[in-house]
Amino acid sequence: MKKFDFNLEIPLNTVSFGFVAQNICRNLWQRGLEPCIHLIHNNCDLSAYKIDADFTKWFESCIKKAKAKYSKLQPSFRLWHVVESENSVSCKTVLNTYFELNSLTPTEINVLSNQSSILLTSKYSIDVFNKFGINHTNFMPLAFDRVHFFDTKKKYLGPDIITHGLFGKLEPLRKRHKKIIQLWLKKYGGNRRYALHLCLHNPHLTPEQHNALLGDIFENKKPPFIVNLLGFCNTLAALNDAWNSVNIVTDCGTESWSLPSFHTVALGKYGVIGNYGGLQSWTNERNSILIPPTEKMISAEDGVFFKRGGEYNDGEIFDFNEEDLLKGWEEAEKRYLANKVNTEGLKLQTDFPWTKTVDIILDELQKLV
């Protein structure tokens, strides 16, 4: 592909958007490309990542270049929510956004209609967008980060303990955290042969809101001794330890990909994963135990991030039957005892490289030159 000028509109921060942006930037740097980088909300915090001096020099140069040389006529890749994506620096924008619900609001339809192209990590989301007349969509998978995540070969708990994990942004409803944790406690709560590691943090909540949500999940009781609240991991090295410390990871929320569960399964852990939404982008019957959705969806309304009648994020999410999840955990334990490493999960590391993701981005931008 011939080199061409383009804009990159991204947040460089320590949450999932920043994680994706950092990996895209790293791959562009390795290719010798120099886009005009525009930081959304001037957001630049790379403290969680392994960043060498040459990479730092590259993105600082690309940020400086943007102020002096960018053009609205150059195509732009924008990594952001649907909200505020009417604010692109370019007339020709490839929007990469993440969407989980089963419907679009009139405002979302208008914002999306004004994008030149839309990249989604979930084929389910593509179907939803198409249903509402947004047809300029393409699939873009996310990928495994080999720089930050690897087998630590550490022993975290005793060899006779089977450790379950639940990771990601704390959202008791959409991610079904409350239902999953309470069901896990019913099944394993007093059994010393099991442990549950919870690494759930939502940067958009205050500590008081966090504590209130956790209090509700645990019915305002102290969590049992076999539950470990790992808290927020402020570096990817700490997160790598958290993901390596479990044998089985559960994810039955409505996701547009789920970077934590994807990486944990790719590290060779056994996944008990919802067979719906963006989770289907990387799971199959060989690398995961798949949990079917209930026939009826449920409202996503939580009064915080999803509000009925709002301009954005108004719709329904998937749910699951408790009996199916219980069977899934039993099957995961059986597979783990037969083979401590999920060899099919390890294949995700090579099946989903960042080069493939960036190839798709550059192809979409090239169409707009």
Buried-exposed string 41-58: b where 16+ CB fall within 10 A, e elsewhere: eeebebebbebeeebeeb
Nearest to 248 by CA among 160, 328, 144, 181: 328
* 274 Cβ neighbours under 8 A, 6+ residues apart: 251, 252, 253, 254, 255, 290, 291, 293, 318, 320
As a whole number of angstroms, the distance between CA 288 and CA 285 comes to 6
User: What residue ranges of the chain are covered by domains with CATH 3.40.50.2000?
Assistant: 7-143+353-366, 162-351
Helix orientation angle between 16-30 and 354-366, rounded to the nearest 10 degrees: 80
pLDDT at 3: 87
Give the pLDDT confidence of 245-291 residue by residue, as tens digits: 999 999 999 999 999 999 999 999 999 999 999 999 999 999 999 99
Residues 38 and 9: beta-carbon distance below 8 Å: yes
Task: Report the CATH number of the 7-143+353-366 domain.
Answer: 3.40.50.2000
pLDDT at 256: 97
Nearest to 258 by CA among 116, 142, 95: 142
Residues 29 and 53: beta-carbon distance below 8 Å: no
Rg (CA), the chain: 21
pLDDT at 67: 87
Cα 106–chain centre separation: 26
Task: Report the CATH number of the 162-351 domain.
Answer: 3.40.50.2000
Give the pLDDT confidence of 146-158 residue by residue, as tens digits: 999 999 999 888 8
Buried-exposed string 188-219: b where 16+ CB fall within 10 A, e elsewhere: beeeeebbbbbbbbbeebeeeebeebbeebbe
pLDDT at 193: 95
Q: Which helix (H) or strand (E) holds 251?
A: strand 248-251
Backbone φ, ψ for residue 119 (5° rounding):
-105, 125
Own/partner contacts of 132-135, CB < 8 Å, gap of 24 or more, are 132/103, 132/104, 133/109, 134/104, 134/109
* 37 Cβ neighbours under 8 A, 6+ residues apart: 7, 8, 10, 25, 59, 62, 63, 65, 66
Q: What residues in the chain have per-residue pLDDT under 50?
A: none
Cα 295–chain centre separation: 25
**Residue 335 per-residue DSSP state:** H
